[in-house]
Structure 1
Amino acid sequence: MKYFDKFHPDNFYHIYNHAVGDENLFRIHDNFIFFLNRYNKYISPIAKTFSYCLMPNHFHFLIQVKNEEEIRRLARNNDDEFYFHKFIMQQLSNFLNSYAKAFNKQHNRRGALFLDFTRRKAINDEFYFSRIINYIHQNPVHHGFCKSAADWEYSSYNSIISVNKNTKLERNAVFDWFGGIEEFILFHQKEKFVDFEI
């Protein structure tokens, strides 16, 4: 299984990382919120987000990297040799470093917070899309934090089904994959957790 696929324009990726050792990434509610704010600052400009889940000691996101024209414009780079993957990785690094510095300061700790490399797995077929979204949303159930995906506050599940509320998630595209909101909910109720050996 390849854990470190290169980033390419318009491609979909499951990205995830874990805290070092027995550390937690999030100790209090405000940590979760601040993490999502940092994500919005650094990652939303370079990628569309389809689902996420923040667990106490790790996180998951399903994203689609934006096209090369948008990324070049953001990077202010028109060189013939534009290292697309390197720029995306730098944004990801800036995001995690920004969070880690603030977390360390708040909790009076030192040293690395995340594992060295954020794993990223390219997603290439629609069969996998719906199952990886379910996998991401079922993480807190699998780890014993709640009984259903809807019970976990720190995932995209409730934002996706709250159709009367605005969201930066790609809600309509998610519903298209599942065949609508009812099918989305039913899939999560029936399929439960499927381990993709990530």
Structure 2
Amino acid sequence: MELEVLEKDNYYHIYNRGINGGIIFFNEENKNFFLRQLGKYLEDKISIFGYCLMDNHYHLIVRLNDNGKEVTQAFSNFFNSYAKSINKENDRTGSLFEKHFKRIRLEDEQYLKQLIVYVHLNPKHHLDLKFEEYKYSSYQSFLSQKETKLEREEVLNLFGEIENFIFFHNQKNDLLTEKYTFE
């Protein structure tokens, strides 16, 4: 599989999982550390439109603010620093993540909106948790008035207003619940 080349001013779904589907976040502090390292390595290079950290995988929705080669290297440095820290903490060796991080260029606004909702619903889909209460997703940050590094205003404008943002999430959640209840 050929990897998508990252290009400035484009939106991407960045994701990966643990090697062989294994755990990459062993505790809450690991998830907090991942988010801190993301800021440390990529804060000025990307804008973040959504994220979700699950125990064995992560999703990031970003727009590149810098040239693709520089951002790709920054992502590589970020993931390497995280993996080295986790390996040291857990007395393990070898790869933490499956191969290279995956990336899909988002071609239109509709896909961007659907992806934001999909990423936020991950806790419901994978763990049957209430996505609205999940701590390691960007969903709550979009509803909050607290300062954030997320592109809150831009995302809410994408949905028209905060009520539509909530509506789209609840509508997809209802469809997801029906799908898994009746299959």
Does the TM-score normalized on the shorter chain lie above 0.5? yes
Whole-Å Cα distance in 1 between the matches of residues 93 and 71 of structure 2? 26
Q: Secondary structure at the match of 1:105?
A: helix
Paired position in structure 2 for 1:132: 115
CA shift digits 1:114-166 (9 cap, x unpaired): 111111101121111110000100111101240x321211000001111x200
Shift of 1:94: 0.2
5 Å-filtered alignment, 1:163-178, equals 164-178=145-159
Determine the C-alpha separation between the residues in 2 that align with 1:88 and 1:129.
20
Asked if 2 retains the 8 angstrom alpha-carbon contact of 1:52 and 1:155, the reply is: yes
- Give the distance between the partners of 1:191 and 1:48, measured in 2 at CA: 25
Q: Give the equivalent residue in structure 2 for 1:161.
A: 143
- Which structure 2 residues correspond to residues 11-160 of structure 1 after superposition, within 5 A? 11-66=10-65, 71=66, 84-146=67-129, 148-160=130-142
Matched positions, count: 175
Whether the 8 Å CA contact 1:11–1:123 is kept in 2: the answer is: yes
Write out per-residue CA displacement over residues 49-90 of structure 1, whole angstroms, 9 at most, x where no aligned residue.
010000100000100000xxxx3xxxxxxxxxxxx4332211
Structure with more helix by fraction: 2
The DSSP-based 3-state class of the residue aligned with 1:135 is helix
Alpha-carbon spacing, 1:128–1:3, altered in 2? closer, same or farther (3 Å): farther
**Cα offset, 1:96, TM superposition:** 0.4
Contact 1:3 1:121 survives alignment (8 Å): no
The residue that corresponds to 1:189 in the other structure is 170
SS in 2 for 1:143: helix
| Inter-partner Cα distance in structure 2 for 1:158 and 1:30 | 19
Point out the more displaced range, 84-93 or 135-144.
84-93
CA RMSD between the two structures = 1.5
**CA distance 1:119–1:188, change in 2 (3 Å):** same
Unaligned ranges ≥5, structure 2: 177-183
Query: Structure 1, unaligned stretches of length 5 or more?
Result: 72-83
**C-alpha distance in 1, partners of 2:172/2:27?**
30
One-letter code aligned to 1:106: E
Task: Please give the secondary structure, in 1, of the residue aligned with 2:69.
Answer: helix
TM normalised by structure 2 equals 0.91
Give the superposition deviation at 1:23. Answer: 2.1
Instruction: Output the CA distance in 1 between the equivalents of 2:52 and 2:146.
Output: 19
| CA deviation string 1:83-120 (max 9, x = no partner) | x4332211111000000111111111111101111111
Q: 2:181 matched to which residue of 1?
A: none
